[in-house]
Chains A and B, each alone.
Chain A
Amino acid sequence: METIKKTITIALAGNPNSGKTTVFNSLTGSRQHVGNYPGVTVEKKEGHRDHKGYRVRVVDLPGTYSLTAHSIEELIARHFVVEEKPDVVVDILDATNLERNLYLAVQFMELGARLVLALNMSDLAKVRGYEVDREKLSVLLGCPVVPTVATKGEGMSGLLDAAIAQMNETHNLPSVTVKYGWEIEEEIARLSSLLEKCDELASNHSPRWLAIKLLENDTEVREQVRRQCGNSDEILDAVRRSTQHLETVFGDAPEIVIADRRYGFISGACRESVRTTGQSRYDMSERIDSVLTNRIIGLPLFIGLMYLVFQFTFTLGAPLMELLEKLFALMGGAISSLWPAESESALKSLLVDGVIGGVGSVLSFLPNIMFLFLAIAILEDSGYMARAAFIMDRIMHKVGLHGKSFIPMLLAFGCTVPAIMATRTLEHRTDRLTTILVTPLISCGARLTIYAMMIPAFFPLAWRARVLWILYIIGIFLALLSAKLIRVTVLRGESTPFVMELPPYRMPTVRGVAIHTWERGYMYVKKAGTIILAVSIILWALTSYPKSGEVEKKYDRDMARIRETLGTEGAAGKEPALQEKLDQLQREKEAQILAHSAAGRIGRFLEPALRPLGFDWRIGTAFLGAFAAKEVFVAQMGIVFSIGDAETSHRSLRQKLHENYSRLTGFCVMLFAMIATPCVATVAVTRREAGSWKWAIFQFGGLTVMAYILTLLVHQIGLLLS
């Protein structure tokens, strides 16, 4: 018989880089799921586990340094504690960086949360020579302090025990209030008594906390007072007077003094309870940094490292990719064989051409993507990425971006979807939006399939690597240029201040890296399974219908005749030739279907507009297909030229291309592909992360226009020069 489980809800908080995510994963393992905080694009991770008769629900709050109203992450953390009232807040502290980490803890204390502190990375702290008297610290802070080493899974049980003890209040720690000195305390008292009269707010918040926040000029609390308090005028007036008084007394805005006093309290507590035994080892991280971020060798070292990352990605990924392509071809064949050879079943076509053709080509890129994300995860977990952002900031800043913008751009070399999702680490909206808008200009893996097909078709061996490089560089250059343009016109504003913590270098753990790699890889798979699947089907419909009736019938008759001949004796010796003819007719028929289809007609309709770029209706049609996924472009071109299965007959497709188009056109196709038509998945994720259709449309339209104009210029100038 099952005992009725008691439950406890724990909110996990902490600075970014404190190991909070590792703790979360340690506590919940695979029993977690990811959602969204309502109304915002911030991830909400929840998980659960059982511990000593309790069902523990763990909610992962966004990583923050404080609980101000300045960023959405801080507001979410704050709201969760106030409105959802978790039983306990567990604040994960980086033991090697205690003072700054405790700043957040103090804020939770003032908010009235029941707090448990996890002294994470306590192994590192020991190595660095820090010795923490936990008991004393818990008395000074008024809450249990538990040592943990999340990367090794140590201390989790102790943490849960402490949380349960906090909830049941079975520990004997006296509660502690941070005092701000008598001048500020006087004002706090004055405001508190006024706030107590406001029932709506006082019921949910401690008046002391509200008073402190008002003195800190907290915009959200001010708004809440204005909206919900009957005596709001009285309160806000008193705030104004208090603020002015304190400014006169201290010569500084009260919020600065309050921050100062908070750190003072923390510093005092640490001085009592933390000792550095002997000479704390000279920071290994600083020594590494003096080399890695050295002004002269920092940048070349970084470029060298990036080069290695890409080499690693493509060398390891290529064979796996080929394997997957073959696998999908086999799958297509297997499904095809379920129908008789000449069957015109729409379902068969849908499955083989539409679904496997579209989704398969995207998924075969997965190995490459995973390796790229793996490399990036290792660099991130080791702490190097922060330095890279620091090195890149110089360049980024010139175009109005943030150093941290470079990480999404790096991810974009794999796939734009996780890249845009990674912009969540950018705190300021203008930075985020600008980065989201220009990221599609970075040549993603899908575009690589187009380059891989087209470059060998038009350029001699010696030139191929160079052309590829040129294309990538153009993409990067355009991204930076567009960013500057956007910041000067549409998203004007102050350059956002660059302040970022440099976490110490640490050894990435297999577990951590695996989780980070999978998180992003999964996004890629999900996009393939959902959006691309849907659009592939739509595109299949557009390229298969309307049927061309008469023309098809003629082909069918011709093919039937040949099949008859094959069956008779008169065909002896001519079988291979006849079979060849049969295949040829089949392909021509497919090309005709495409030409007659909606997509084909659209392509032809657009042709006059495409001619100045050197394109014809066939390229136009293929680009339409590329909207679903760029990889589809290659497949479409194959069909248009009745090559049949373009994957396995690249050579023949390249030959056809070479015969039909000039080198200039080939280059223009790649240029256009690079800039225009972000795939559907990109548009969808842009809409979600930017928060409105307006930006997604702006991005799509802007890129298409840019692509058109640039390709037009390149083509026309190219013609003039030749």
Chain B
Amino acid sequence: MSAEERESSAGPHVPLSLVRAGSRVRLVSVQAGRGLAKRLADMGFVPGDEIQVVSNGVPGPLVVLVKGSRLVLGRGMAEKILVK
């Protein structure tokens, strides 16, 4: 997905941590250091891909469905992941 493609797709960008349980969103970008971004990308957090939020209890970690399996994400991480 090129930069232009992404810009043109409408919708506000929110951090994953604010997404309600049961919603499906698409990953826009990861606002973190290169190492962390890459680590997330390796685990399947790739821009444009769908993320389904399974549970999001504040405070505490989130459970998301990415690439067919469930991952647990710390809240701090989820705040750095922008989705729409």
Measured CB to CB, the closest approach of chain A to B75, in angstroms, equals 8
Measured CB to CB, the closest approach of chain B to A223, in angstroms, equals 15
Measured CB to CB, the closest approach of chain A to B64, in angstroms, equals 10
Asked if A502 and B41 sit within 8 Å, CB to CB, the answer is: no
Asked if B44 and A100 sit within 8 Å, CB to CB, the answer is: yes
Asked if A394 and B68 sit within 8 Å, CB to CB, the answer is: no
Specify which of B30, B48, B60, B73 is in contact with A394 (CB 8 Å cutoff). Answer: B60
Asked if B44 and A293 sit within 8 Å, CB to CB, the answer is: no
Specify which of B34, B63, B72, B77 is in contact with A255 (CB 8 Å cutoff). Answer: B34
Question: Given the complex, which residues of A lie within 8 Å of B39, measured CB to CB?
Answer: 68, 70, 497, 499
User: Is B14 located at the chain interface by the 8 A CB criterion?
Assistant: no
A96-B29 Cα distance, complex, nearest whole Å: 27
Q: Could you count the A-B residue pairs with CB atoms below 8 Å apart for me: how many are there?
A: 127
A251-B5 Cα distance, complex, nearest whole Å: 10
A253-B38 Cα distance, complex, nearest whole Å: 9
Specify which of A68, A217, A263 is in contact with B44 (CB 8 Å cutoff). Answer: A263
Asked if A502 and B47 sit within 8 Å, CB to CB, the answer is: no
User: Is B12 located at the chain interface by the 8 A CB criterion?
Assistant: no
Closest Cβ neighbor of A101 among chain B residues: B69
Specify which of B38, B46, B69, B77 is in contact with A502 (CB 8 Å cutoff). Answer: B69
A650-B43 Cα distance, complex, nearest whole Å: 57
Asked if A397 and B74 sit within 8 Å, CB to CB, the answer is: yes
Asked if A289 and B63 sit within 8 Å, CB to CB, the answer is: yes
Question: Given the complex, which residues of A lie within 8 Å of B68, measured CB to CB?
Answer: 96-100
Measured CB to CB, the closest approach of chain B to A91, in angstroms, equals 15
Asked if B73 and A216 sit within 8 Å, CB to CB, the answer is: no
Greatest chain B CB density within 10 A among A259, A285, A386, A389 is at A259
Which residues A41-78 have CB closer than 8 A to chain B?
65-66, 68, 70
Q: State the interface size on chain A (CB cutoff 8 A).
A: 44
Specify which of B35, B67, B73 is in contact with A263 (CB 8 Å cutoff). Answer: B67
Measured CB to CB, the closest approach of chain B to A513, in angstroms, equals 23
Greatest chain A CB density within 10 A among B40, B42, B59, B77 is at B42
Question: Given the complex, which residues of B lie within 8 Å of A217, measured CB to CB?
Answer: 34, 38
A100-B3 Cα distance, complex, nearest whole Å: 25
Asked if A255 and B41 sit within 8 Å, CB to CB, the answer is: yes
Asked if A499 and B40 sit within 8 Å, CB to CB, the answer is: yes
A391-B38 Cα distance, complex, nearest whole Å: 26
User: Is B71 located at the chain interface by the 8 A CB criterion?
Assistant: yes
Q: State the interface size on chain B (CB cutoff 8 A).
A: 38
Asked if A250 and B38 sit within 8 Å, CB to CB, the answer is: no
User: Is A381 located at the chain interface by the 8 A CB criterion?
Assistant: no
Measured CB to CB, the closest approach of chain A to B42, in angstroms, equals 4
Measured CB to CB, the closest approach of chain A to B10, in angstroms, equals 17
Closest Cβ neighbor of B27 among chain A residues: A260
Query: Would you give the 0/1 interface string for A388-409, flagging 1 where the beta carbon is closer than 8 Å to chain B?
Result: 0110011001000001000000
A585-B73 Cα distance, complex, nearest whole Å: 67
A498-B81 Cα distance, complex, nearest whole Å: 13
Query: Would you give the 0/1 interface string for A483-517, flagging 1 where the beta carbon is closer than 8 Å to chain B?
Result: 00000000000010111111110000000000000
Asked if A65 and B38 sit within 8 Å, CB to CB, the answer is: no
Which residues A243-277 have CB closer than 8 A to chain B?
249-253, 255-256, 259-260, 263
User: Is A103 located at the chain interface by the 8 A CB criterion?
Assistant: yes
User: Is B18 located at the chain interface by the 8 A CB criterion?
Assistant: no
Specify which of A216, A285, A403, A499 is in contact with B43 (CB 8 Å cutoff). Answer: A499
A393-B43 Cα distance, complex, nearest whole Å: 20
Question: Given the complex, which residues of A lie within 8 Å of B67, measured CB to CB?
Answer: 97, 99-100, 263
Asked if B74 and A253 sit within 8 Å, CB to CB, the answer is: no
User: Is A286 located at the chain interface by the 8 A CB criterion?
Assistant: yes
User: Is B6 located at the chain interface by the 8 A CB criterion?
Assistant: yes
Contacts A250-B2, A393-B61, A502-B72 known; A65 to B34 CB distance under 8 Å? no
A263-B46 Cα distance, complex, nearest whole Å: 8
Question: Given the complex, which residues of A lie within 8 Å of B76, measured CB to CB?
Answer: 495, 497-498
User: Is A466 located at the chain interface by the 8 A CB criterion?
Assistant: no
User: Is B25 located at the chain interface by the 8 A CB criterion?
Assistant: no
A68-B47 Cα distance, complex, nearest whole Å: 19
User: Is A295 located at the chain interface by the 8 A CB criterion?
Assistant: yes
Asked if B49 and A393 sit within 8 Å, CB to CB, the answer is: no
Question: Given the complex, which residues of B lie within 8 Å of A253, measured CB to CB?
Answer: 34, 37-38
Residues of A within 8 A of B (CB): 65-66, 68, 70, 96-100, 103, 216-217, 249-253, 255-256, 259-260, 263, 285-286, 289-290, 293, 295, 386, 389-390, 393-394, 397, 403, 495, 497-504
22 A-B residue pairs with CB within 8 Å: A68-B38, A70-B38, A96-B69, A99-B44, A99-B67, A100-B43, A100-B67, A100-B69, A216-B38, A260-B41, A286-B54, A293-B55, A293-B63, A295-B57, A390-B63, A495-B74, A497-B36, A497-B39, A498-B72, A499-B72, A499-B73, A501-B72
Beyond known contacts A68-B39, A502-B63, A502-B71: 8 more, CB 8 A cutoff:
A103-B44, A251-B2, A255-B37, A256-B38, A397-B74, A497-B74, A498-B74, A498-B77
Residues of B within 8 A of A (CB): 1-3, 6, 29-30, 34-44, 46-49, 54-55, 57, 59-61, 63, 67-74, 76-77
Instruction: In the A-B complex, list the 6 residue pairs whose CB atoms are closest, starting with the nearest.
Output: A251-B3, A498-B74, A259-B41, A502-B70, A295-B57, A66-B42
